[in-house]
Chains A and B, each alone.
Chain A
Amino acid sequence: MKTFRNYISEHIGVKFIYDNMNICSAPGRKELLNSKFIVAPEQIENELKFLDELLLSLSEKTLTNILHLLAQVNDVSLIIKNIHSGFTVDDIQLFEVKKFSVLIQKLKKILVEINYRSLEFSDLSTVIKILDPDNTGLMTFYIYDSYDSKLAELRKERLSTNDQNKKDELYIEILKLEDEIRTRLCRELQQHCKELEINLHNVAKFDVLLAKIQLIEKFNLCRPKIVESKINYTGLFNPYIADILNNKGKKFQAVDIGIDQKPCLITGANMSGKTVLLKTLAVAQIMFQFGFYVPAQNAEIMPVDEIIMSLGDNQDELTGLSSFAAEMLNVDKIIKAAKKGKKILGLVDELARTTNPDEGKAIVNAFVYLMEKYNSSCVITTHYSGISTGSKRYKVKGLKTDEIKNQEINATNINDYIDYSLAEIDDNFVPNDALNIIEMLGVEKELVFSARDFISRKL
């Protein structure tokens, strides 16, 4: 199963989410990166519940306090592992274990105060007692005198003597005794490795939860409702692209879309945001299946076994495949998964666009037919007219024809005159806006003129 790390490298939109997460500790980062794509609905529900409960009990002030604690948590997993398998670790590592335990106790106390009980941190007071024999309550550590009366004596003697040779001799004796004590301490700690491990895991998880919580506010995410057989969004947006637009002083236009366990055909002029829509659907679905709230006003989402995309931006040169071959291999993956009865979300951008229109159209028709046959949720964008399907069709509204009259439109402002919202349609004709758009982009007029001429002659 894919991990969050995999998705970060595959989707710039997911990477953007990750870059905006305020993960405080090294264990938290590890936890998030290694977390797995969740398929079981009850498990996703569980993850979301963690967030719901945390949202209820967390105030701004406690959040700051907790983040301050988390920032000090180091990854002690290797140390725990070493102690568990019987190694004797050094003072630096014992210090780490003590510091970790004190931090956990502090965190535990805060969580009790805010009455948050979803994550159970086990008690580490015994561990602290082992590493703080004088009960100082401090995070500092050394092999304390009180561990062994002989050690105290030796140290006293060394402190009082002026003879350097004697000092050196005593120091060697002290080191030997310290080693014995260290071994003893590690044996004692060995009994508590389980608790330490559980706490390390919990604190990592808690760090991720807090980062997810902060994300909700930052991007205005919504709590998805888990459903069985459809995906419905109102006000779906893409945080990454919204941010880019925002920096240019523009706004991302959110869209409403509903997808059933059937193919869903999307048509629309060039530049109407079809590819962005597919990427947005992917990011939202990925976030959902990692237990995040999602970028929409309202969302009902079914968990899928797999998200399979064909966006035509595979790095084909590297695999040696032509763009057509790469695309067809993705399509093959979708069909095979569908035939196996897997629940998938297929996202296919302009299927068969790189081949001849006759065969291309036939391929799209056949693919849509198969998706219908195997009840698979697959969103397909296309420029081909005459695709027959009984399923849903959307058209991106496209150029705002009444607004563009008397406007100076060019490559830099054309986006302002496009309506990115979707309208459900039942005809199978696609809009012919391509020539209008290239004209606005300021492409050589002769091209537009001759193209129009060809069209009129053909008709």
Chain B
Amino acid sequence: MPFIDKILESRSLSIVGMEKNTGKTECLNYVIDRLKEKEKIIALTSIGIDGESIDQVTETPKPEIEIYPGTIFITSEKHYKQKQLTAEILDITQKSTALGRLITARARDYGKVICSGPSQTVWLKEVIDKTREWGIDLFLVDGALSRKSSASPSITESMILTTGAAVAPGIDDIVKKTAFLVKLINIEKIDTEYREILLEKEKGLYIITKDNELIDTGIESGLFADKLSPEIFNKASTIFLSGILTDRFLELIRVQNTKKKIVILVKDFTKIFISKEKYHGFLKSGGKIRVLLKPKLIAVCINPLSPLGYKLDSNMIADKLHNEIKLPIYDIKNILK
């Protein structure tokens, strides 16, 4: 498959689903299968404690991922004990997630594992870097669109997005929603010496001044942005939001921004929760949004099957979506046929 070669151009890849039931796990298993054929050594973990805790409540099992000998996987103590293959423990972290410490292990057999990895972006980066010491070709992240402060999949070099009938009832809406998300994923990355510092911030509003000085505004989040003083607006060249970017904040900056061009900076696209209309309005008024992390989106995979039972025409989705975003679109199930 073409996109497997594309994947191997980068050293880390995340697979992110727009919603549940968009075929993320199928896509992941497909990618792993192809890499197996190419005899690549891969490492694998998953993020998004949000989704997991829901799974724990409803007790629907987290999807199992099929791996092959030599694959390194990183998962919590709880899920390590549920593995269905022989594996060699390579390392155990001292830090702990809600599900216990993280185990790094190497599969010595074929079989299924459940992954639950680091809960913060910075930790995920540490894990990826550390796992490289074991000599891997590619690090795979089973990603989630993080709503809160969990780890972001954008830390990986490249990304595959999965979408489909679960996202919206009609094809046009699916295409619109997906195309908009792709636009957000492709928002330009900023170059700043403060990248590492800002990535670690869990809360707060910061500005980078025209003299490139980083200042904490003392304001907790975008929710309290109306407390920003004109003084700050005069000084700032960039406003960094450690949390999420909302329509309300965008509007506030747009109104203030008539003369001074202030750039809004967020960690990555998963922190952007704005409507298409407000986003375009903001851009038209000359506003700029930038991110600290930007993965290279290499393909979009679609699952035409809705969890409600009906099936859409996957070729039609693929064509319409391709017209909008000019990226390779695949229906994994069609490929498998």
Contact = CB atoms under 8 A, between A and B. Distances in A.
- A and B interact: yes
Interface of A: 26, 74, 90-92, 95-96, 99, 139-143, 155, 158-159, 167, 171, 174
B98 interface: no
Contacts of A143: 86
Interface in B91-113: 91-92, 94, 103, 106, 108-111
Contacts of B89: 91-92, 95, 140-142
A287 B69 CA distance: 55
* Best-buried of A139, A140, A158, A174 by chain B (most CB within 10 Å): A140
B332 to A, nearest CB: 21
30 contacts: A26-B94, A74-B94, A90-B81, A91-B89, A92-B77, A92-B80, A92-B81, A92-B89, A92-B92, A92-B103, A95-B92, A96-B92, A99-B92, A139-B91, A140-B89, A140-B90, A140-B91, A141-B89, A142-B86, A142-B88, A142-B108, A143-B86, A155-B86, A155-B109, A159-B69, A159-B110, A167-B110, A171-B84, A171-B111, A174-B86
Contacts of A171: 84-85, 111
Contacts of B266: none
- Taking chain A's interface residues, is the majority helix, strand, or loop, or is none over half, making it mixed? helix
A398 B224 CA distance: 51
Nearest to B85: A171
Contacts of A95: 89, 92
* Best-buried of A142, A158, A167, A171 by chain B (most CB within 10 Å): A142
Contacts of A158: 109
Interface string B61-94: 0000000010000000100110011111111101
Nearest to B101: A92
Given A74-B92, A143-B86, 4 more contacts: A92-B81, A140-B91, A159-B69, A171-B85
Contacts, number: 41
A83 to B, nearest CB: 17
Interface residues of B, number: 20
A221 to B, nearest CB: 30
A39 to B, nearest CB: 35
A91 B89 CA distance: 8
Given A74-B94, A92-B77, A159-B69, A141 B110 contact: no
A311 to B, nearest CB: 36
A144 to B, nearest CB: 9
A171 B82 CA distance: 13
Nearest to B81: A90
A171 B106 CA distance: 17
A140 B81 CA distance: 17
Contacts of B88: 140-142
A257 to B, nearest CB: 44
Contacts of A159: 69, 109-110
A143 B89 CA distance: 10
Contacts of B80: 92
A141 B109 CA distance: 15
A140 B108 CA distance: 13
A11 B157 CA distance: 50
Nearest to A158: B109
Nearest to B88: A142
Interface string B305-334: 000000000000000000000000000000
B87 A142 contact: yes
A99 B88 CA distance: 13
Nearest to A71: B94
A90 B83 CA distance: 13
A375 B91 CA distance: 60
Nearest to A75: B94
Contacts of A155: 86, 108-109
Contacts of B87: 142
Contacts of B103: 92
Contacts of B109: 155, 158-159
A388 to B, nearest CB: 59
Nearest to A74: B94
A451 to B, nearest CB: 44
B136 to A, nearest CB: 15
B33 to A, nearest CB: 15
Nearest to A91: B89
A219 B92 CA distance: 35
Contacts of B94: 26, 74
A85 to B, nearest CB: 22
Question: When A and B form their complex, which 10 residue pairs have the shortest distance between CB atoms, in order from nearest?
Answer: A142-B88, A95-B89, A140-B90, A141-B89, A140-B88, A91-B89, A140-B89, A159-B109, A155-B86, A142-B87
A87 to B, nearest CB: 16
A387 B77 CA distance: 68
A91 B103 CA distance: 11
A1 to B, nearest CB: 31
Nearest to B84: A171
Contacts of A167: 110
A304 B90 CA distance: 50
A74 B91 CA distance: 12
A91 B84 CA distance: 14
Contacts of A141: 88-89
Contacts of A92: 77, 80-81, 89, 92, 103
Contacts of B90: 140
* Best-buried of B69, B80, B85, B109 by chain A (most CB within 10 Å): B109
A176 to B, nearest CB: 13
Contacts of A174: 86
A74 B89 CA distance: 16
A171 to B, nearest CB: 6
* Best-buried of A74, A95, A99, A139 by chain B (most CB within 10 Å): A95
A377 to B, nearest CB: 45
Interface string B255-281: 000000000000000000000000000
A88 to B, nearest CB: 14
A139 B106 CA distance: 13
Contacts of B84: 171
A142 B89 CA distance: 6
A139 B111 CA distance: 24
Nearest to B69: A159
A179 B77 CA distance: 18
A32 B225 CA distance: 46
A274 to B, nearest CB: 39
A244 B176 CA distance: 60
A159 B87 CA distance: 13
A95 B106 CA distance: 13
Contacts of B81: 90, 92
Contacts of A96: 92
A26 B84 CA distance: 32
